[in-house]
């Protein structure tokens, strides 16, 4: 006669073990979330090839080996060179703090401002989307220092150069014919 082996009944998992497993799952989810955000910003680090210019070390228009300058629209570049020469006669130098930018760099700038300021609406007042940015197409340049900005605001139309955003005195585009009248400024980058 064969004896049937008794099936062992599964023992109930103690409540404490379930609690520990739940706590580990929650901790793992939090850890992934906390670590994921910094890794996202590390996923893209803008460099010279993206048009990044170190704010502490602006560049000149003669830095044509850098994409921030070499990828500017030819007509914009020529207008800037003519304006720069005339400004130099007045003792003013042009520092370029931003020129052409890659789409990835433009998106990174927007994402950084959204994170920093906590508001996409506010960030969009100063940073356009890659689809709307004239930096991405090479049709915009940011100028420093303040005396160069003021000089271009006062004289830029002679070269077709105009400040295009009321809240960004540093942002210039080729927006009229040389000697023409600059169009009315947009309030900000959001339009």
> What is the per-residue pLDDT for 10?
63
Q: What domain range includes position 21?
A: 15-44
- Is residue 183 included in any domain, yes or no? no
- Looking at the fold, whether 79 and 157 belong to one and the same domain comes out as yes
Cα–Cα separations (whole angstroms), residue 148 to 22, 83, 111: 61, 10, 29
Q: How far apart are CA 98 and CA 141, in angstroms?
A: 6
Higher local confidence (pLDDT), 68 or 13: 68
188 in a structural domain:
no
Looking at the predicted structure, is the pLDDT value of residue 23 above 90?
no
Residue 24 and residue 115 in one domain: no
**Cα 81 to Cα 154: distance, rounded to the nearest angstrom:** 16
Residue 168, in any domain of the structure:
yes
Q: Are residues 25 and 110 in the same domain?
A: no
Both 35 and 122 in a single domain? no
26-50: buried (b, 16+ CB within 10 Å) or exposed (e) per residue?
A: eeeeeeeeeeeeeeeeeeeebeeeb
Residue 117 resides in a domain: yes
Q: How far is CA 128 from CA 12, 63, 72, 135, in A?
A: 59, 25, 17, 9
pLDDT at residue 36, as a whole number: 54
* Co-location of 100 and 27 in the same domain: no
Q: Kindly report, residue by residue over 66-95, the tens digit of the pLDDT.
A: 999 999 999 999 999 999 999 999 999 999
Cβ atoms within 10 Å of 12's Cβ, excluding its own: 8
- Residue 26: its pLDDT value, please? 74
> Which pLDDT value is given to residue 6?
61
Residue 68 and residue 54 in one domain: yes
Examine the domain organization and report whether 154 and 92 are in the same domain.
yes
Q: What is the mean pLDDT of residues 142-159?
A: 98
pLDDT mean across residues, the chain: 89
Domain-located, residue 186:
no
Give yes or no: residues 61 and 76 share one domain.
yes
Has residue 191 been placed in a domain? no
Indicate if 157 and 72 belong to the same structural domain. Answer: yes
9 falls within a domain:
no
Residue that the structure tokens 């998106």 belong to:
107
Q: What is the pLDDT of residue 120?
A: 96
Supply the CATH number for residue 69's domain: 3.30.1380.10
Query: Residue 43: its pLDDT value, please?
Result: 80
96 and 30 assigned to the same domain: no
Do residue 104 and residue 136 come from a single domain? yes
Residues 56 and 131 reside in one and the same domain: yes
Q: DSSP labels for 71-105?
A: TS-HHHHHHHHHHHHHHHHTT---EEEE----HHH
Please choose, from the candidates 70, 90, 94, the residue with its C-alpha nearest in 3D space to the C-alpha of residue 80.
94
Number of domains making up the chain: 2
Would residue 3 count as lying in a domain?
A: no
């Amino acid at each position: 006669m064969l004896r049937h082996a008794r099936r062992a009944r599964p023992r109930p998992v103690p409540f404490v073990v379930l609690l520990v497993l739940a706590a580990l799952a929650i901790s793992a989810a939090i850890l992934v979330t906390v670590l994921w955000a910094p890794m996202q910003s590390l996923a893209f680090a803008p460099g010279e090839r993206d048009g990044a210019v170190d704010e502490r070390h602006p560049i000149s228009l003669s830095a044509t080996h850098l994409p921030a300058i070499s990828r500017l629209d030819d007509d914009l570049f020529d207008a800037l060179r003519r304006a720069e020469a005339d400004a130099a006669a007045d003792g003013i130098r042009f520092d370029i703090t931003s020129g052409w930018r890659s789409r990835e760099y433009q998106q990174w700038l927007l994402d950084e401002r959204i994170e920093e300021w906590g508001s996409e609406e506010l960030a969009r007042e100063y940073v356009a989307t890659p689809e709307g940015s004239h930096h991405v197409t090479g049709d915009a340049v940011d100028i420093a220092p303040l005396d160069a900005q003021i000089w271009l605001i006062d004289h830029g139309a002679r070269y077709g150069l105009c400040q295009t955003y009321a809240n960004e005195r540093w942002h210039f585009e080729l927006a009229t014919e040389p000697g023409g009248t600059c169009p009315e400024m947009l309030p900000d980058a959001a339009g």
